[in-house]
Amino acid sequence: MRYKYGHGPVLPHMALLPLLLANVESLWACYVLSTFALVFHLMFHSLARALRQAYALTATTAERHGLFNWAFLRQHQSARAKSASAAGGGSGNIVTRFRRMIRFDNAPPKILALSPRFAMFARLPSGLHSSRHASKAIPVDLHTCLAHARPGLSFVAKQIKLSVRGVIHYHQTRRWLAYWNSTPMRAELAKATPRLLQKIYRPYQSLRLRSQDRFNILVSHYDFILQRGLATLILDATQSPVLLGGFNGKSGASYEIRLSAIATLDREGELALDLYCDQQRLFSIAFTFYESESIWCVGIGCLQGPRGNDAQERVRNATRDMFGLRPKALMIRLVREIGHAYGCKKMILVGNKNRVLFHQVRTGKVLADYDDFWLEIGAVRGPDGDYLLSCDHIPMPNLQDVPSHKRSETRKRIDLTDRAIQAALIGFASSRI
């Protein structure tokens, strides 16, 4: 039975709403809330009715011009409705129906041909796929990035926002989706990391990057991954962190280096290198490989320490356990060495003012000061606010400049750093195809 969007059942509830708010001291607040509820109800159902009328008008026009077999479509929809009722789902709630209208799941294939801008947002019903396309894999579209989202009003809002962005950036979106559908491996990478597809519309790694810059960086990163045979490693890292290697500290504590892809730091980089101490995360760094001015670079978007009340104490203990080597310095060195091993000439580190979380930094919710640390390790500030550091010329400590009573600990620190670097590089190389 089709649900009817009538206003009759809701009017008695609207009339009784002021009685439910009788305890409110201000009488005008009762009527304001009642009026707001009534207006919201009318607007929501008016929008749903407009969408149904637009769909019916389009279907009638297409049928008049003989664009598709309307009888076949009604038979298909009737069979699907019966199967849904038999499964106990009924006709579904209003959110489900609204979502179907937005995604054009009920639209016939030839209706979608009327406007190519809608084709990239639509997914055809399984019964309407022709036999010649049955053997092909389902292509990647914009809504692939919502594959794991929970149903509800927020899901509908995300779909609408995503569709609007796709229409506004129509030509760029077409190139973006064409890139991911160009080879099976790229399509597999996109489906394994659904949130990847919406990154060209949002701030990414550095606020200095425009939409076209984000597009170029992301495409060059995945070209870098495919060209160097790292696709298998990245696919594994999208499922769960991949253990690259490990080493032991002075106290015998076990340290592990793990690689994640599109993890919690997905706005700051495509890959995240994590340092674990006794199975607890100690430090993370987010980075992306890309080409800038015909030079391969590795971009750093985030350097994040541990959380919790004992975060500083854990960092101090780890520093002592690694012979004075700070965990964040080790993470920078590891990514710098990985970049050098795979042909990157320089490292680009995001400045404070260019961080994608700049609002949180300004309001004091994020306290890390990147600028001071970048200058401390020898980086040079660029005109755009980010910092540059060479991957080719990595200075080594000169023991002659170290006081004699500290040389033993310095040698041990250098040896531990070399072991960590070798573990990370071997972990990368062992997964190459």
Q: Which of 113-122, 271-280, 296-305 has the lowest mean pLDDT?
A: 113-122
pLDDT tens digits for range 420-429: 999 999 999 8
pLDDT tens digits for range 248-268: 999 999 999 999 997 677 788
Pairing of strands 346-349, 254-261: unpaired
The tokens for 161 are 């926002």
pLDDT for residue 42 is more than 70: no
The tokens for 423 are 């573990």
pLDDT for residue 192 is more than 70: yes
Q: Is 136 exposed, middle or buried (0-12, 13-18, 19+ CB in 10 A)?
A: exposed
What contacts 328, CB < 8 A, 6 or more positions away? 283, 285, 303, 305, 373
Q: Which of 95-99, 193-197, 249-253 has the lowest mean pLDDT?
A: 95-99
CATH topology of domain 226-429: Aminopeptidase (3.40.630)
The tokens for 168 are 């506004």
pLDDT band at 76 (very low <50, low <70, confident <90, very high): low
Percent of the chain at pLDDT above 90?
39
Q: Which of 163-172, 211-220, 395-404 has the lowest mean pLDDT?
A: 395-404
Domain limits, CATH 3.40.630, in the chain: 226-429
pLDDT at 123: 46
The tokens for 123 are 């997914």
Contact indicator for 141, 178 with CB cutoff of 8 Å: no
Name the phi and psi angles at 392, rounded to 5: -85, -45
Structural element, H or E, at residue 56 = helix 27-64
Highest mean predicted confidence (pLDDT) among 79-83, 148-152, 259-263: 259-263
Q: Is 419 exposed, middle or buried (0-12, 13-18, 19+ CB in 10 A)?
A: middle
pLDDT tens digits for range 342-395: 999 999 999 998 988 755 555 555 667 899 999 999 999 999 999 999 998 888
